[in-house]
Structure 1
Amino acid sequence: MIDQAVDRAAAALAATQRPDGHWVFELEADATIPAEYVLLRHYLSEPVAAELEAKIGRYLRRIRSDTHDGWGLFHAGDFDVSASVKAYFALKMIGDPVDAPHMARARAAILAAGGAAAVNVFTRIQLALFGAGPWATVPTMPPELILAPRWFPITLAKMSYWARTVVVPLLVLAALKPVARNAKRVLVDELYTGEAVAPTTKADTTPMWTLFFNALDGALKRGDRLWPKGLRQRAIDRCVAFVTERLNGVDGLGAIYPAMANSVMMFDALGYAEDHPARAAARESLERLLVIGDDEAYCQPCVSPVWDTALAAHAMMEAGEDARADAALDWLRPRQVLDVAGDWASERPHVRPGGWAFQYNNDHYPDLDDTAVVVMAMDRARGRTGPVNDEAIDRGIEWTVGLQSRNGGWGAFDADNAYEYLNNLPFADHGALLDPPTADVTARCVSMLAQRGERGSARMMAALDYLAREQRADGSWFGRWGVNYIYGTWSVLCALNAAGVGPEHPMVAKAVAWLTAIQNADGGWGEDCDSYALDYAGHRGAPSTASQTAWALLGLMAAGQVDSDTVALGVAWLAANQAEDGLWAQERYTGGGFPRVFYLRYHGYPKYFPLWALARYRNLKRSNAQAVEYGM
């Protein structure tokens, strides 16, 4: 039965591989990105794309909740006022009548939550750009911020990559305060209650820092007109230079939708013609994020080809489909960033580039997670492919170890990006301004080093000490980039196994007990995105999903539990829930963007992770082994 399940899943995954060897699957977020895309077209007063807007409208209407009448941040998620205001605004812009039943119900839910005055900062900016809300409610971030020296407490260098790329063009927009040129002049006055509402923060804040930064914001607002004109122009010019250098051609600024859209609006506000090369490339980058079907369409927040390809290659090697994996590695090799010292170099200027980015092209922002996964896949294939990937492996490891943070862990894009006081900025109400080390990324880097045979080094011991400190009392680990404690625990158990920390170690034993305790009655595992609640109270159960079940199984098998009843039940769940096409259905979101703010549905996760888990189970049972030598 397992052999058949593996063969069917491998054949189905192989059928989705592109002719050049790579995989890329849809990456779906919530209603905000497709809504913002519609609003952007109208902001720029572009020709009406009636068919496309009709498809996006159908998508937005379908994902609206019948339970709370608005839009959440993930499948079956609770009402979110900011997402709901954007979706409502986009549907009204498309032409949905405000008295249509779905619009009336959504409006009532929005008003009950405080109305448009209760939305987050980025939604307030979106409203202000249309004259549908006041700029006065947007926290002040003067463009002169880009000129601040590195030692200054508030600098762009102290922010995460995603915050940096999103904020820089916004600095120009906030200074110029443009208003949309759309002829329809659609507003959403009906979403305001007439009362000021304090938005609910999603950040971990400290009262004293919050008071200080709120006072600073007030001072900046009062003095906004007092900046010397020459200094302001110099700051705007620096912002434009920053954006232009990082445009990535048609892959866009930072290769993420919010930054890409902001760059287009910045160029527009500065008077760049539509055919100006920078503006045209920035605008084209957004079109490449669209997923257009026969009946519906939506806009992705970014694309994930390197991540999908590397993970699918691991699954294919596990399943014995080596030729498929080798083609993937051939595609990955030339995408290593070797010549661009990205923003990470401001903290580590003496480290040579050598990482991989998440997207097709994002040379200024490679990440440690992708790099470790690619290196492990290449190393795993060395016995078959020979030395063809040796230089890529060595450079990837060199770059990775060069970005280890002082506490022993690794963040995703930068070293030591942990200036926690910045989360108290009024602008940072989403709580996602920073990129500190996390257990899941650290685990991947440990796995990579251990797979290459590193043991007992100072950097390895520092990393293992970090992971030990990060383990929760219940035995789990937090998962920053996947939902959530199941993802983190899988990642760390694989790392500990690769590093030689055996099943008898208390860290491992506690994690195994935790995973066993949270298994669903049907044999699978599930976890809700609400486990990222502000109190981080721990795992919140959810119906079993294919990807989370696969993570739990991979973690347990790494911990020597291949013969346990727990693993047998999980394997049976995967086998029983495999569809006729050889794959697994999964609507629930199991990817993390920003905790409490932004979640992701990786359409590839239920395609390669269950295959990986089933194939590993088969391989371990055949060899009578309890663990594997690989880091994942």
Structure 2
Amino acid sequence: MTPPAPNIDPLTTPLERERVLAAYQRACAALEAAQQPNGAWAGEVVWNPMLICQYVICSHIVGREIPEPRKQRIRLSLELQRKRDGGWGMHPDVPPAPGDHDHHPNHDRDPAGLAGAHDSWMFHTVLGYVALRLLGADPNEPLLQDVRAWIHAHGGPYGVPTWGRAWLALLGLYPWSELQPLLPELWLLGDDSPMHPRRLYCHMRLIYLGLSYLYGARTQADASPLVEAIRGELYPEGWDVSRFRATRDQIASTDLYEPIGQSLEWLFAGARALSRAIPAVVRRRALARAWEHIEFEFASTNWVCLSPVNGMLFCLAMWSRDRRDPRLAQALQGLEYWMWEDDSEGLRICGARSDIWDTSFALQALCEGPQIDEAARAVDRASAWLPRAQLRADILGGREHYRESARGGWGFANEHHPWPVSDCTAEALEALLHAEHRGWDHAAARLDLSDKLAAVEFVLLRQNDDGGFGSYEPRRGSMLLARFNPAEMYGNCMLEYSYTECTASCVRGLAVALEALGANMPSELRARVQAGVDAGVQFLLGSQASNGAWPGFWGVNYTYGTFFSVAGLLAAGLDGEHVAVRRAVRHLISAQRDDGGWGERYEGVLESRERPLDADQPSRIVQTAWALLTLQQAAPERGREAIERGLRFLLDQQQPDGTWPHDAAVGVFFNTAVLDYRLYKLVFPTWALSRWLSR
């Protein structure tokens, strides 16, 4: 649906409108200032220190010396992210421990509402300790003494989840023999096998690819006095393989989210017995097949890989296979793509880049508002860059390496990352169609009709049989596979699902394309698009929770899922009087807080239920913007009072430079992995102001 043209609402006073317009102008100036020279917006996606610790371990194993200034920046980032109970954790917002960096904005705050919960996780704390020691930290300095005390007080490294055990095994700090089996032989199964790794969610699939190679090759760093010293510090009771064997099915309570069920225990036991009986020639064939897939991922992504996790695992596989491989330097250089480095927060590695995602939302926000100079300039630059990030051809050789067709898609990151995603494609296409409709599109960058149609085809290929949409791919495996999750600290990570948000974005993008392209869309494709939209609508209607909202998978939580779902339903032709939309509106109005805003705790994602903020906590800026955007679109009159109260909350929170302060991370994946999308707190409040001014 094309955004409405701006007009003055006669039911608001000129002063009110002037205040909102002034705030919008400041926000647009801030957005323009945040725009990259190429026209994209690219905010850091903050997670936790796991990745930078793995980078230190990877560099040590392959013998790549980290320069001293970078070592200091890594240490700075670890110090800033340390939690109040002494270790490191999964969540980026839990208050760090007091120390030498009390100026850091996260100190002395509990923005996630986690007071009383454990902050540190065994996985992250053990990796943090090992990384600091490999960087040269003295084991007797107070910081490391405190971290070591936390590890021992919580049972020691025996309780590290399986993926952490693998990183320890690479250093000789955990016996490979007692790791839960990660058999590379699964890559030799026929493609039609229900257990073939091709059926897994792509991130899980490629992590398993790297881990299974390293497990099968029993890759291990060269022994050194430093690693021997670390072993003695982590295991002061001595190295006893029988103790590892006795605890191999136990995960520290701080880290356990999905317990190992009996069926998975049986599977592990069978795989362990099978592993001992596999002939050496079969193991060599399995490693060769896994290596073919690793080589393809390096080559098809220009060394950046799907994520830094599998990128580092693949670097280690290359080193394991041939320490003198001349391509190892390129592979390690590919990790730089994921790094953020500065003097204030040190060196960190993001789990994802979000250039296309951020740019698509910012472009839609500005296209919906008044055509002020700052917005027009930003839209002009963004709509020139975004088409260049579209994939115009399939990945050569992709089919035999289990890649879906990529032509027409946009990814989450940027033009250098050829892993396109359904909702990123739908949001990018819609953004460019809105820019074109408003006449703000950069003339030289306008998408050809063939590119628009290719994007539509790409989105349709991600639809599942239940009418919902997957992300990178449609679901390939049976839901039974979800019961065999070996990543004990994450949930819902084995398969592609039908996600509420992806489905809503795809429904909305397809509906906008159907209207915008009109007769230019071939009749056969129009019929498929309409059928896809109709099936997506039915999926969304069937996914509405009893409270009238929709749960989120990629964001916290009901506010996020409802923001997407209502927009998708309205774009598909439902109106504000539809019972599902009215129920959603009722929920949002009832959830508004005394300060005029909205807010939820992230534990609601963990527990699959509503978790409102405590009464004494201020509302969340980004969640308030999501609620406002939904109400303004679905119930501009019925929700008028709630909208004005929420709008005043945003206006009061805006800073003089046009931005909004950080209050809490509201992104999430795999239930436990909370992310802070740094640009969300600028893009979505700006969009809420934009939408209000447009009406």
Q: TM-score, normalised by structure 1?
A: 0.90
Partner letter of residue 434 of structure 1? L
Q: Deviations over 1:555-579 (max 9, x none)?
A: 1112123652211121111111112
Give, in whole Å, the separation in 2 of the partners of 1:145 and 1:261.
21
Q: Check whether the contact 1:55–1:297 (CA below 8 A) recurs between aligned residues.
A: yes
Map of 1:606 onto structure 2: 681
Q: Check whether the contact 1:417–1:436 (CA below 8 A) recurs between aligned residues.
A: no
**Corresponding position: 1:616 with 2:685:** no
Partner letter of residue 633 of structure 2? A
CA spacing shift, 1:106–1:352, aligned 2, 3 Å: closer
Displacement of 1:189 in angstroms is: 4.5
**Corresponding position: 1:439 with 2:505:** no
Map of 1:374 onto structure 2: 428
Give, in whole Å, the separation in 1 of the partners of 2:192 and 2:33.
52
Displacement of 1:373 in angstroms is: 0.4
Partner letter of residue 503 of structure 2? T
Report how many residues are paired.
Answer: 613
CA spacing shift, 1:587–1:255, aligned 2, 3 Å: farther
Displacement of 1:422 in angstroms is: 2.1
Map of 2:69 onto structure 1: 51
Give, in whole Å, the separation in 2 of the partners of 1:405 and 1:418.
11
Alignment match of 1:416 (pick from 471, 475, 489):
475
Map of 1:398 onto structure 2: 457
Structure 1 or 2, whichever has the larger Rg, is 2
Map of 1:122 onto structure 2: 163
**Structure 1 residue ranges without an equivalent (≥5):** 621-632
Give, in whole Å, the separation in 1 of the partners of 2:296 and 2:62.
23
Map of 2:630 onto structure 1: 555
CA spacing shift, 1:390–1:382, aligned 2, 3 Å: farther
**Corresponding position: 1:157 with 2:198:** yes
SS in 1 for 2:58: helix
Map of 2:609 onto structure 1: 537
Displacement of 1:375 in angstroms is: 0.8
Map of 1:61 onto structure 2: 79
Partner letter of residue 511 of structure 2? A
SS in 1 for 2:214: helix
Q: What root-mean-square deviation, in Å, do the aligned CA atoms of Structure 1 and Structure 2 show?
A: 2.7
Map of 1:293 onto structure 2: 342
Alignment match of 2:318 (pick from 245, 267, 282):
267
Map of 2:98 onto structure 1: none
Give, in whole Å, the separation in 2 of the partners of 1:400 and 1:522.
40
Give, in whole Å, the separation in 2 of the partners of 1:501 and 1:560.
13
SS in 2 for 1:526: coil
Give, in whole Å, the separation in 2 of the partners of 1:399 and 1:471.
26
Map of 1:133 onto structure 2: 174
Give, in whole Å, the separation in 1 of the partners of 2:262 and 2:431.
49
Give, in whole Å, the separation in 2 of the partners of 1:326 and 1:389.
17
1:311-330 map, 5 Å:
311-319=361-369, 320=371, 321-330=375-384
Partner letter of residue 218 of structure 1? A
Displacement of 1:363 in angstroms is: 6.2
Map of 1:626 onto structure 2: none
Alignment match of 2:296 (pick from 230, 245, 248):
245
Q: Check whether the contact 2:306–2:417 (CA below 8 A) recurs between aligned residues.
A: no
Displacement of 1:423 in angstroms is: 2.9
Q: Check whether the contact 1:289–1:302 (CA below 8 A) recurs between aligned residues.
A: yes
Map of 1:280 onto structure 2: 329
Q: Deviations over 1:161-188 (max 9, x none)?
A: 1111222122110011122237432525
Partner letter of residue 159 of structure 2? A
**Corresponding position: 1:449 with 2:510:** yes
Partner letter of residue 614 of structure 1? L
CA spacing shift, 1:495–1:269, aligned 2, 3 Å: same
Displacement of 1:235 in angstroms is: 2.0
Q: Check whether the contact 1:139–1:426 (CA below 8 A) recurs between aligned residues.
A: no
Give, in whole Å, the separation in 1 of the partners of 2:626 and 2:448.
28
Give, in whole Å, the separation in 2 of the partners of 1:93 and 1:433.
32
CA spacing shift, 1:191–1:523, aligned 2, 3 Å: farther
**Corresponding position: 1:224 with 2:278:** no
Give, in whole Å, the separation in 2 of the partners of 1:360 and 1:591.
19
Give, in whole Å, the separation in 2 of the partners of 1:50 and 1:112.
32
Q: Check whether the contact 2:621–2:663 (CA below 8 A) recurs between aligned residues.
A: no
Q: Check whether the contact 2:203–2:306 (CA below 8 A) recurs between aligned residues.
A: no
Q: Which stretch has the larger CA shift, 305-314 or 453-462?
A: 453-462
Map of 1:334 onto structure 2: 388
1:141-152 map, 5 Å:
141-152=182-193
Displacement of 1:426 in angstroms is: 5.7
CA spacing shift, 1:515–1:189, aligned 2, 3 Å: farther
Alignment match of 1:187 (pick from 230, 242, 247):
230
Alignment match of 2:145 (pick from 79, 98, 104):
104
Give, in whole Å, the separation in 1 of the partners of 2:588 and 2:63.
53
Give, in whole Å, the separation in 2 of the partners of 1:446 and 1:229.
50
Map of 1:12 onto structure 2: 30
Partner letter of residue 298 of structure 1? R
SS in 2 for 1:400: helix
CA spacing shift, 1:435–1:485, aligned 2, 3 Å: same
Q: Check whether the contact 1:247–1:253 (CA below 8 A) recurs between aligned residues.
A: yes
Displacement of 1:251 in angstroms is: 5.3
Give, in whole Å, the separation in 2 of the partners of 1:474 and 1:361.
40
Map of 1:624 onto structure 2: none
Give, in whole Å, the separation in 2 of the partners of 1:519 and 1:35.
40
CA spacing shift, 1:70–1:352, aligned 2, 3 Å: closer
Map of 1:628 onto structure 2: none
CA spacing shift, 1:119–1:423, aligned 2, 3 Å: farther
Partner letter of residue 501 of structure 2? D
Alignment match of 1:566 (pick from 642, 656, 659):
642
Q: Check whether the contact 2:39–2:381 (CA below 8 A) recurs between aligned residues.
A: yes
Give, in whole Å, the separation in 2 of the partners of 1:219 and 1:348.
27
SS in 1 for 2:230: coil
Give, in whole Å, the separation in 2 of the partners of 1:573 and 1:30.
30
Q: Check whether the contact 1:378–1:389 (CA below 8 A) recurs between aligned residues.
A: no
Q: Deviations over 1:13-53 (max 9, x none)?
A: 11122222122121211121122122222222222422212
Partner letter of residue 227 of structure 1? I
Q: Check whether the contact 1:344–1:414 (CA below 8 A) recurs between aligned residues.
A: no
**Corresponding position: 1:589 with 2:665:** yes
CA spacing shift, 1:135–1:424, aligned 2, 3 Å: farther
CA spacing shift, 1:69–1:37, aligned 2, 3 Å: closer
Give, in whole Å, the separation in 1 of the partners of 2:397 and 2:568.
28
Map of 2:305 onto structure 1: 254
Q: Percent of aligned pairs with the same residue?
A: 27
Map of 1:493 onto structure 2: 566
SS in 2 for 1:333: helix
Map of 2:110 onto structure 1: none
CA spacing shift, 1:450–1:426, aligned 2, 3 Å: closer
Q: Which stretch has the larger CA shift, 332-341 or 153-162?
A: 332-341
Give, in whole Å, the separation in 1 of the partners of 2:398 and 2:511.
24
Q: Check whether the contact 2:293–2:401 (CA below 8 A) recurs between aligned residues.
A: no
CA spacing shift, 1:333–1:360, aligned 2, 3 Å: same
Alignment match of 1:168 (pick from 195, 199, 209):
209
1:466-485 map, 5 Å:
466-485=539-558
SS in 2 for 1:75: coil
**Corresponding position: 1:212 with 2:273:** no
Partner letter of residue 282 of structure 1? A
SS in 2 for 1:592: strand
Give, in whole Å, the separation in 2 of the partners of 1:568 and 1:345.
52
